[in-house]
Amino acid sequence: MAFTDLNFLSRFLPLFLIIYFLLPRRMQQPALFTGSLIFYAMGDWRHLPLLLLLCWLNFVFAKMVWEDKSDNGRHRRQILLAIAGMDAGVLVLFKIMSVALGMALPLGISFYIFKMLSFQADLYQGKITQKPSMFTMAAYFSLFFQVAQGPIMRYTEEEYAKPHRLSLIKIEEGLKYLIIGLAMKVLVADRLAILWHEAVKIGFESLSTPLAWLAAAGYSLELYLDFWGYSLMAAGIGVMLGFSFVENFRHPYAATSVGEFYRRWHITLTSWFKDYVYIPLGGSRKGKKRTIVNILLVWLLTGFWHGGGLHFILWGLVLGGLILWEKFIGIKWLRKYPAVGHMYVIVLIPLTWMCFAVGNMSELSALFSRLLPLSGQTAGADPNDFVRYLSRFWTYICAGIALCVPKVYEFVQQKRDGKARLVEAAILVLLLWISLYSANSSKANPFMYLYF
């Protein structure tokens, strides 16, 4: 069950909100856990036992760490290594099986296991100061508005055991994020998906260079608005329930370097790798050679986290190489000429997304021969294909580009009073109706990060 599913929007979510706030506050955590299990089962019931087993095992090991009062930290460290090794091992096993056997990954496994790993590390380091209950931990791991695609919110960022009060202001604020995210997904991202699918159907070797770039731009905007839209919907649901807003994107296409782009893109994943992999490895504190190794290892793991296919590994290593170039060579140049740096990001990022999108190496080679043609590589392309597809998709491309501009979103996000607030409410209601109609009539595509 996806956030764009009418059963979720018109039945599950309203009913859950009513039950959640009518229950005694001591029952909110069990209700949140139960509702999350129902949501998960409706999306992937076959792997629900795996999620439950991992929740229970992580609770057992966390209890051992919490109750270990010995002065010798070695035992606690052994417990941490055991549970972290088990959690990471399960994720690696399923990633390998997905490639070797063509199996679909369990819903949300990359996200909820990273939550488990960060929880165990924070508990070991003493960042969690109150003993968590089984329901509190399990609810955190399986939160229905985060379990499928994140964000990877830290346990220490919220007081999970704290009861939440009904707030109409929070309901209104969360609903606004929900509607904006839904519209991004079904009204823009899903339309751009058609452009990419048609380019794939034509065959990369038959695209003209302008159409290849249009398709690459369309895919880049589709991925951004799809995942940002989901993140806004997830954050909005959390706000309605009384949680803090989780920022997962901060206008990445306004960046002036690839490194800055990924500090603004999927922020919770980037910060997870920084805090739990890069810094523990030594970060940039142990010399240039060690820094190079650490950055490449982080991006290799980032690629593998997205999928075990060779194209994901290639994507991660390409980004690691670009960030190393920026760090040691290009950073002064990019800072001195920010406009050039911005254009560098606008051109390079869509090219890197092609490594992410195309799993077949021969097809990827054919696509790049069109994107960056050498002499004689444009034969067989329709010279009019670009104009034909641009005339069909220019409105969605323009909408996507507009949403990449920080000032546009800031204008939408700003709070209003009086008549302006009534106008905004009317626009949001209209936007919600159009989005629901579109989602129902076109059977909206699943979110692109749904099975990572």
Q: What is the DSSP string of 269-323?
A: HHHHHIIIIITTTTTTSS-HHHHHHHHHHHHHHHHHHH-SSHHHHHHHHHHHHHH
Buried b (16+ CB within 10 A) or exposed e, 101-113: eeeebbbbbbbbb
Establish if 438 belongs to a structural domain: yes
**Mean pLDDT, range 370-395, rounded to an integer:** 81
Average pLDDT of the segment spanning 250-265: 95
Specify if 281 maps to a domain. yes
By the 10 Å C-beta count (0-12 exposed, 13-18 middle, 19+ buried), 423 is classed as: exposed
* pLDDT at position 392 over 80: yes
Domain boundary among 116, 145, 166: 166
Q: Which of 166, 185, 209 is the last residue of a domain?
A: 166
Locate 133 and state its tokens: 């209950």
Q: Is the pLDDT of residue 343 over 80?
A: yes
As a whole number of angstroms, the distance between CA 281 and CA 286 comes to 9
The tens digit of pLDDT for each residue in 117-146 reads 999 999 999 898 888 888 899 999 999 999
336 and 220 belong to one structural domain = yes
Kindly state whether residues 350 and 397 are assigned to the same domain.
Answer: yes
Count Cβ neighbours within 10 Å for each residue of 296-332 and write b for 16 or more, e otherwise: bbbbebbbbbbbbbebbbbbbbbbbebbbebbeebee
Q: What percent of the chain has pLDDT over 90?
A: 70
The reply to whether 200 and 278 lie within a common domain is yes
397: containing domain: 170-442
Could you tell me if residue 231 is inside a domain? yes
Over residues 279-317, the pLDDT tens digits come to 999 988 888 999 999 999 999 999 999 987 899 999 999
Count up the domains in the chain and report the number. 2
Question: Is position 20 within any domain?
Answer: yes
Q: Looking at the domain assignment, is residue 317 inside a domain? A: yes
Helix (H) or strand (E) holding 44: helix 28-44
Q: In the prediction, which pLDDT does 180 show?
A: 95
Do 137 and 40 share a structural domain? yes
Gyration radius from the chain CA atoms: 23
Best CA proximity match to 261, nearest among 277, 243, 249: 249
Q: Span 44-55, mean pLDDT?
A: 96
Helix and strand numbers (H, E) in the chain are 20, 0
- Residue 443 confidence (pLDDT): 64
Clarify whether residues 193 and 128 are in a common domain.
no
The pLDDT assigned to 69 comes to 67
Note the pLDDT tens digit of each residue in 420-449: 888 888 999 999 999 998 887 766 577 777
**pLDDT band at residue 257 using 50, 70 and 90 as cut-offs:** very high
Q: What pLDDT sits at residue 255?
A: 95
Q: What percent of the chain has pLDDT over 70?
A: 96
**Mean per-residue pLDDT of the chain:** 90
Q: Do 30 and 129 fall into the same domain?
A: yes
pLDDT tens-place string over residues 155-190: 988 777 677 888 899 999 999 999 999 999 999 999
CA–centroid distance for 449 within its chain? 6
Q: Is residue 435 part of a domain?
A: yes
Q: Band of the pLDDT at 380, cuts 50, 70, 90?
A: low
Q: Which of 68, 41, 59 is nearest to 144 (CA)?
A: 41
Range with the poorest average pLDDT among 198-207, 260-269, 328-337: 328-337
Co-location of 315 and 176 in the same domain: yes
Identify whether 156 is part of a domain.
yes
Give domain status of residue 448, yes or no: no
| 164: number of Cβ within 10 Å | 16
Same domain, 162 and 174: no
| CA-CA-CA-CA dihedral for 19, 22, 238, 59, to nearest 10 | -80
Shared domain for 105 and 156, answered yes or no, is yes
Q: Are residues 381 and 295 part of one domain?
A: yes
Same domain, 432 and 308: yes
What is the rounded CA–CA span in Å between residue 385 and residue 255? Answer: 31
List pLDDT tens digits, range 231-246. Answer: 999 999 999 999 999 9
Give yes or no: residues 181 and 109 share one domain. Answer: no
Are the C-beta atoms of 108 and 451 separated by less than 8 Å? no
Q: Which of 120, 149, 166 is the C-terminal boundary of a domain?
A: 166
Residue 377, pLDDT > 80, answer no
